[in-house]
């Protein structure tokens, strides 16, 4: 690039900056969208915030995850039927720490009711939940720390009403966390804040599961905690169910964890009703529930209880179970789903997992049917398997995926989603074997 082109480019950049002025309109319009909202309200809030912050060097901060990935969050915090606005920003002329401003509309005019300094350089997520059942949602903001990618600080804010009727926010607690969830774990019919914190500050890492509720004085109080498997690098999901034991019932938590980039396992904790404390339900879950696929625990058989996927042996030619595509290696695996009560594992359902096209297929034919991938048709073929001779027999059915419905259609439609279409074909040999459309459709699970 010659010197004239460089100078021209610099002048264009300067002109754009000068034309933008100091208004927040310089920032991405998309960061101001927060569905569902009333028409025009985002614009009102933006204009008011521009005016209120005109003397500051404001940079909007958009949450990185969660349901509210916008710098402006509209929510009825004080339950008066009118949305308030939370705005995440930093004043770059002073510091890089994120702030949260509460804007309230009073007599058709937006005003700042609170301006709170956050606990990090960014916002990971924001959510709302009513922990004490008083009809007012607490605000939970996870602040991203300056030098840590997985550990965050979750701060909890409570709506506060003064004697003169003014409305603001009060910080009622902050905790380190890697993952959080809301559920009633101790059976008091109120949601708890459940936190997984991976403490790597000591020589030996610890993973801690903590449970919080709100006290009558509106403070965040930890009512219990328990150490879980120490080999967790991050948590993908926390799910829960309720198990009945005689005339009592207790909650179980399933913590789906990454052991490393390729391996996942599930730890389980249940609430001991008699002793009012959490108890670990598995010993060495990083061994007994490990799998090389990021499949989360779920109620696979729709019986109301969550099962854990565990890798098991798929009969067939193991050379056919892996596929290299654009330097990525995809391994087709067989998972057995176990219902865990203590350390008693009960095989429930088996599913074949296709990581390339992201689906599970209930698979009750292991040892009689095996698989191989047809890279020409880009289809997974299911064939008879002769265990004695270690050889493939007749093709019975196949499943293929297409990103566009009309792009090289393949047989009959098995499943449609926004990303694409899954097709199936049943051969004459497959029909004789007993494979039917109903079996395939009822066995298919998109993940």
Check if the beta carbon of residue 159 is closer than 8 Å to that of residue 86.
no
Q: Nearest Cα to 138, choosing from 119, 157, 123, 155? A: 157
Q: What is the pLDDT of residues 116-157, one digit of tens each?
A: 999 998 999 999 999 998 888 999 999 998 777 788 999 999
How far is the C-alpha of 110 from the C-alpha of 45, rounded, in Å? 7
pLDDT given at position 407: 67
Q: Nearest Cα to 27, choosing from 74, 63, 62? A: 62
pLDDT given at position 165: 66
pTM, rounded to two decimals: 0.81
Q: Compute the average pLDDT of residues 302-314.
A: 92
Percentage above 90 pLDDT, the chain: 62
Q: What is the pLDDT of residues 16-25, one digit of tens each?
A: 434 433 333 3
Q: What is the pLDDT of residues 340-385, one digit of tens each?
A: 764 444 556 899 999 999 999 999 999 999 999 998 888 999 999 9
Reply yes or no: is the peptide bond before residue 36 cis, omega within 30 of 0.
yes
pLDDT given at position 226: 97
Beta bridge partners of 90: 59
- Pick the residue with more confidence: 1 or 242? 242
Handedness of CA 277, 278, 280, 281 (dihedral sign): positive
């Amino acid at each position: 690039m010659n010197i004239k082109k460089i100078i021209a480019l610099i002048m264009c950049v300067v002109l754009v900056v000068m034309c933008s002025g100091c208004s927040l309109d310089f920032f991405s319009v998309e960061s101001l969208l927060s569905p569902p909202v009333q028409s025009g309200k985002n614009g009102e809030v933006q204009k008011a915030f521009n005016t209120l912050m005109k003397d500051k060097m404001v940079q909007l901060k958009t949450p990185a995850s969660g349901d509210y990935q916008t710098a402006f969050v509209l929510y009825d915090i004080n339950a008066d039927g009118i949305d308030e606005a939370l705005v995440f920003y930093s004043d770059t002329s002073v510091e890089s720490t994120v702030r949260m401003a509460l804007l309230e509309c009073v007599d058709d005019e937006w005003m700042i009711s609170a301006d709170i300094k956050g606990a990090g350089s960014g916002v990971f997520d924001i959510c709302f939940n009513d922990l004490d059942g008083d009809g007012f949602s607490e605000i939970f903001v996870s602040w991203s720390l300056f030098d840590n990618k997985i550990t965050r600080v979750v701060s909890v804010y409570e709506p506060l009403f003064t004697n003169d009727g003014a409305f603001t926010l009060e910080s009622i607690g902050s905790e380190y966390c890697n993952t959080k969830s809301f559920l009633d774990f101790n059976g008091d019919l109120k949601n708890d804040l459940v936190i997984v914190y991976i403490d790597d500050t000591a020589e030996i890492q610890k993973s801690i599961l903590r449970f919080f509720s709100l006290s009558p004085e509106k403070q965040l109080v930890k009512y219990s905690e328990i150490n879980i498997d120490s080999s967790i690098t991050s948590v993908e999901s926390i799910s829960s169910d309720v198990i009945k034991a005689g005339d009592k019932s207790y909650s179980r938590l399933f913590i789906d964890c990454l052991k490393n980039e390729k391996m996942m396992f599930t730890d389980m904790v249940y609430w001991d009703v008699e002793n009012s404390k959490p108890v670990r339900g598995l010993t060495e879950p990083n061994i007994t529930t490990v799998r090389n696929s990021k499949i989360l625990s779920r109620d696979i058989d729709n019986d109301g209880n969550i099962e854990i996927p565990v890798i098991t042996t798929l009969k067939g030619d193991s050379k056919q179970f892996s596929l290299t595509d654009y330097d990525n290696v995809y391994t087709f695996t067989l998972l057995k789903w176990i219902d865990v009560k203590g350390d008693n594992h009960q095989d429930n359902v088996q599913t074949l997992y296709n990581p390339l096209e992201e689906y599970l297929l209930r698979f009750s034919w292991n040892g009689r049917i095996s698989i191989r991938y047809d890279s020409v048709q880009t289809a997974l073929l299911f064939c008879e398997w002769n265990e004695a001779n270690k050889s493939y027999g007749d093709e019975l059915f196949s499943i293929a995926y297409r990103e566009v419905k009309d792009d090289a259609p393949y047989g009959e439609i098995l499943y449609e989603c926004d990303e694409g279409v899954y097709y199936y074909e049943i051969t004459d040999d497959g029909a004789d074997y007993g494979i039917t459309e109903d079996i395939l459709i009822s066995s298919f699970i998109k993940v």
